């Protein structure tokens, strides 16, 4: 029997025991029996090939077994074996390859070796690898940011390619994370890319964001925007904000860290409450100029790099507005709201809430899919159309109707709906649809207010119809 | 779970980092691990064994470890982590720190810029060994205000 002294690092796997008496004639046997008794210890002591890891030192009495007969070193009764963690580390330095790669940074006095090392030591979390996430991830990787975290759960769709330049034509149908990671590493293999194939939610947000210096929301939807804001305020992290719609973009840096000298407003100081659901159309509904997220995403990347370097004037307390058609930049001053519910003097929000509910998005799970309670799925609609009298309302524009439509639909564009309510046949069950379900959600809201309380919305719009019912239909 | 430093250990760590500047300093954190917090009761300076590149590497010899571990065990303490300095560099763990890290141990880093100690951070290895997660810490004087 030999006595093994267990380092505190491994005691989580030995039921808290600080020593153990183990049989064995050699060091190898004793350690093998030890790992047998406490199976979770094994992966910390041995690598995949079954060799002792190089940061594990084993001492017999006062001697390193590497200087004796290694694992064949004989063990007597009463011997004391110590498992000693190697303790080492150091400051990041730049390799020759990195020095060549970053030379245009290194000769800038504002960056230099110090700044480049700061970039290498930095970590940035990017939520969404879409229009904004693409240029963000690409430029931050190229600039030498050491660790990028990416959160996404979507797959690449053909309609993404017009602006989401991190994904290419061959990637259509692939998970966005796999496609983005591959491209980032092709730009700069020195970057560590951590991927989170999940929705960013109140349940996982703290855990994911805690390990990063900066958080950037590239998703452009209200629930995530408020969630990112609150997570950043509560963790004291900078939130580099960007938003795009059609030809207009916005950017700012929200950094409401308490006690921080450059403390600025947060997103809630600007917009305490979200707009009613459906009022602000998304890019999927309203369209977006492909280069616009490129420009706004680059502005966000620029600010993230300045935060890391500690140089320049950040967009703290300033909202930058960009008009791509007029080609104009404007700037608005933002002030901290002392009554802000999350960063104000007497905050009422101390933990994360249900952001979908807060933003008025009612969501229920159905067949594993998340749908609004007024929603009907494409399959359900197909079933109803076969047997029941349905008034099918298409609220898209005439140009879209020309591309494709669901047979039997009546076209009344959303904007004309308030004046044309008399054309609705209230004797039948009403189902409205549009391209992806956002505009028709507004139409349903309007119809319900006008007394058509049974009106339903086709979840996922004509896209879902093409996916689930009629694969021959074109998607646009 | 938070780390509580019972004495002005953080100032001691900063002084150690300034004394060895421009080289890296390193040392042990001794104390105990409770169910909801880690308590540092003593720190012990170590000598940096990396004579080849002490300005950006540190290493504590296994013999020093063994020696300190024995003394600690005799007085009812454990080695619960380590500290080191980053001369002219932010207090963020490097890839080298990650490669050599152990689970469950606290890694404290102090930034020393132009000879003056600044930011101190504390880190723990994530379960999958992929990265360090920042850990909250406080000194005993803040202790009363500390929320659990």
Question: Which is nearest to A165 in space by CA: A132, A195, A188?
Answer: A132
pLDDT at residue number A50: 82
Instruction: Find the mean pLDDT for residues A1-23.
Output: 89
pLDDT at residue number A285: 67
For this complex, say whether ipTM is above 0.95: no
Is residue A398 less than 8 Å (CB to CB) from chain B? no
Residues on chain B touching A43 (C-beta within 8 angstroms): none
Q: Are A342 and A277 in contact (CB under 8 A)?
A: no
Is residue A84 less than 8 Å (CB to CB) from chain B? yes
Count Cβ–Cβ pairs < 8 Å, chain A vs chain B: 122
Q: Do A84 and B69 touch (CB under 8 A)?
A: yes
- Please check the confidence at residue A312 and state whether its pLDDT lies above 70: yes
Lowest mean pLDDT among A26-30, A63-67, A287-291, A324-328: A63-67
pLDDT at residue number B146: 46
At residue A170, what are phi and psi to the nearest 5 degrees? Answer: -70, -20
- Please check the confidence at residue A162 and state whether its pLDDT lies above 70: yes
pLDDT at residue number A266: 95
Q: Do B131 and A5 touch (CB under 8 A)?
A: no
pLDDT at residue number A48: 76
Q: Nearest-CA distance from B141 to chain A in Å? A: 19
Is residue A323 less than 8 Å (CB to CB) from chain B? no
pLDDT at residue number A98: 92
Q: What whole-number percentage of chain B has pLDDT above 90? A: 48
Confidence bin at A281 (pLDDT 50/70/90): low
Distance CA B144, CA A87 (A): 33
pLDDT tens for A86-97 read 888 877 678 888
Confidence bin at A269 (pLDDT 50/70/90): very high
Which run of H or E residues covers position A22?
strand A19-22
Instruction: Find the mean pLDDT for residues A303-319.
Output: 95
Instruction: Find the mean pLDDT for residues A372-378.
Output: 78
Q: Do B84 and A89 touch (CB under 8 A)?
A: yes
Instruction: Find the mean pLDDT for residues A442-459.
Output: 84
- Please check the confidence at residue A367 and state whether its pLDDT lies above 80: no
Q: Do A82 and B87 touch (CB under 8 A)?
A: no
Which CATH code for domain A2-85?
Answer: 3.10.20.30
Q: Nearest-CA distance from A115 to chain B in Å? A: 9
At residue B59, what are phi and psi to the nearest 5 degrees? Answer: -155, 135
Question: Which is nearest to A408 in space by CA: A438, A428, A422?
Answer: A428
Is residue A168 less than 8 Å (CB to CB) from chain B? no
- Please check the confidence at residue A368 and state whether its pLDDT lies above 50: no
Q: Do B88 and A194 touch (CB under 8 A)?
A: no
Distance CA B70, CA A50 (A): 29
Greater confidence (A367 vs A51) lies with A51
Distance CA A152, CA A200 (A): 8
Residue in chain B closest to A84 (alpha carbons) equals B62
Confidence bin at B148 (pLDDT 50/70/90): very low
Q: Do A92 and B89 touch (CB under 8 A)?
A: yes
pLDDT at residue number A121: 85
Instruction: Find the mean pLDDT for residues B80-107.
Output: 87
pLDDT at residue number A283: 65
* Residues of A with a known catalytic role: 283, 434
Confidence bin at A175 (pLDDT 50/70/90): very high
pLDDT at residue number A361: 65
- Please check the confidence at residue A363 and state whether its pLDDT lies above 60: no
pLDDT at residue number A230: 95
Which CATH code for domain A122-358?
Answer: 3.40.50.720
pLDDT at residue number A80: 93
- Please check the confidence at residue A158 and state whether its pLDDT lies above 90: yes
- Please check the confidence at residue B12 and state whether its pLDDT lies above 70: yes
Instruction: Find the mean pLDDT for residues B37-62.
Output: 87
Q: Nearest-CA distance from A444 to chain B in Å? A: 46
Is residue A14 less than 8 Å (CB to CB) from chain B? no
Distance CA A458, CA A437 (A): 6
Q: Which CATH number fits domain A364-468: 3.40.250.10, 3.30.70.940, 3.40.190.10, 3.10.20.600?
A: 3.40.250.10
Q: Do A12 and B59 touch (CB under 8 A)?
A: no
pLDDT at residue number A300: 98
Domains contained in chain B, CATH given: 3-143 (3.40.140.10)
Residues on chain A touching B55 (C-beta within 8 angstroms): 91
Burial class (CB in 10 A: 0-12, 13-18, 19+), A422: exposed
- Please check the confidence at residue A295 and state whether its pLDDT lies above 80: yes
Distance CA A149, CA A129 (A): 10
DSSP result, A129-143 = -STTHHHHHHHHHHH
Instruction: Find the mean pLDDT for residues A401-406.
Output: 92
With the C-alpha atoms ordered B95, B97, B101, B103, is the resulting torsion angle positive or negative? negative
Confidence bin at A371 (pLDDT 50/70/90): low
Residues 6+ positions from B39 with CB-CB distance below 8 Å: B3, B4, B6, B31, B32, B33
CATH 3.40.50.720 domain range(s) in chain A = 122-358
pLDDT at residue number A176: 96
Q: What whole-number percentage of chain A has pLDDT above 70? A: 95
pLDDT at residue number A279: 63
- Please check the confidence at residue B44 and state whether its pLDDT lies above 90: yes
Distance CA A168, CA A161 (A): 7
A346 three-class SS: coil
Residues 6+ positions from B142 with CB-CB distance below 8 Å: none
- Please check the confidence at residue A325 and state whether its pLDDT lies above 90: yes
Lowest mean pLDDT among A206-210, A223-227, A445-449, A462-466: A445-449
Burial A264-291 (b: 16+ CB within 10 A, else e): bbbbbbbeeebeebbeebbbbbeebbee
Distance CA B132, CA B122 (A): 9
Predicted TM-score (pTM) of this structure: 0.64
């Amino acid at each position: 029997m030999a006595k093994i002294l267990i380092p505190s690092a491994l005691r989580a796997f030995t039921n808290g025991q600080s020593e153990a008496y183990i049989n064995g004639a050699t060091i190898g046997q004793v350690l093998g029996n030890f790992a047998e008794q406490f199976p979770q210890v094994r992966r910390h002591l041995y690598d995949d090939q079954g060799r002792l890891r190089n940061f594990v030192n084993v001492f017999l009495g006062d001697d390193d077994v590497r200087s004796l007969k290694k694992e064949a070193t004989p063990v007597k009764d009463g011997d004391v074996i110590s498992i000693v963690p190697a303790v080492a580390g150091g400051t990041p330095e730049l390799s020759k390859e990195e020095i060549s790669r970053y030379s245009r940074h290194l000769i800038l006095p504002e960056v230099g070796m110090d700044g480049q090392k700061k970039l290498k030591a930095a970590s940035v979390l990017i939520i969404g690898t879409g229009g904004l996430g693409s240029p963000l991830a690409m430029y931050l990787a190229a600039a030498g940011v050491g660790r990028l975290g990416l959160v996404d759960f979507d797959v690449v769709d053909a309609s993404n390619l017009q602006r989401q330049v991190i994904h290419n034509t061959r990637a259509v149908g692939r998970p966005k994370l796999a496609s983005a990671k591959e491209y980032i590493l092709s730009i700069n293999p020195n970057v560590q890319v951590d991927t989170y194939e999940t929705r960013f939610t109140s349940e996982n947000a703290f855990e994911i964001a805690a390990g990063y210096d900066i958080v950037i929301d590239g998703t452009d939807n209200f629930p995530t925007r408020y969630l990112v804001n609150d997570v950043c305020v509560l963790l004291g992290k900078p939130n580099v904000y960007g938003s795009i719609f059609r030809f207009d973009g916005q950017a700012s840096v929200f950094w409401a860290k308490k006690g921080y000298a450059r403390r600025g407003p947060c997103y809630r100081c600007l917009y305490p409450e979200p707009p009613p659901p459906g009022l602000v159309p998304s890019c999927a509904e309203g369209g977006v100029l492909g280069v616009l997220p490129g420009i706004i995403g680059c502005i966000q990347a620029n600010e993230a790099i300045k935060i890391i370097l500690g140089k320049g004037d950040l967009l703290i307390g300033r909202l930058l507005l960009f008009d791509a058609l007029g080609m104009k930049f404007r700037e608005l001053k933002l002030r901290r709201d002392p009554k802000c519910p999350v960063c104000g003097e007497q905050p009422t929000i101390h933990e994360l809430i249900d952001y979908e509910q807060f933003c008025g998005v009612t969501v229920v799970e159905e067949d594993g899919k998340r749908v609004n309670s007024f929603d009907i799925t494409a399959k359900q609609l197909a079933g109803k159309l076969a047997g029941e009298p349905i008034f099918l309302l298409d609220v898209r524009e005439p140009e879209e109707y020309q591309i494709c439509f669901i047979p039997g639909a009546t076209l009344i564009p959303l904007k004309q709906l308030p004046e044309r309510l008399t054309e609705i046949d209230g004797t039948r069950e009403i189902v409205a649809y549009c391209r992806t379900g956002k505009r028709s959600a507004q139409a349903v809201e309007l119809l319900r207010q006008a007394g058509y309380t049974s009106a339903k919305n086709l979840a996922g719009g004509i896209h879902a119809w093409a996916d689930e019912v009629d694969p021959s239909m074109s998607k646009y | 779970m938070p780390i509580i430093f019972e004495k002005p250990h953080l100032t001691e760590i900063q002084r150690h980092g300034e004394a060895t500047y421009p080289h890296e300093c390193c040392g042990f954190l001794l104390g105990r691990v409770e169910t909801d917090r880690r308590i540092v009761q003593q720190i012990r300076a170590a000598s940096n064994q990396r004579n080849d590149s002490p300005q950006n590497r540190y290493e504590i010899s296994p013999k020093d470890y063994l020696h300190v571990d024995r003394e600690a065990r005799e007085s009812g303490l454990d080695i619960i982590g380590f500290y080191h300095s980053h001369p002219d560099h932010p207090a963020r763990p490097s890839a080298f720190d990650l490669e050599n890290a152990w689970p469950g141990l606290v890694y404290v880093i102090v930034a020393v810029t132009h000879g003056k100690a600044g930011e101190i951070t504390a880190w723990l290895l994530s379960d999958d060994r992929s990265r360090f997660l920042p850990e909250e810490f406080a000194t005993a004087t803040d202790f009363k205000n500390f929320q659990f």
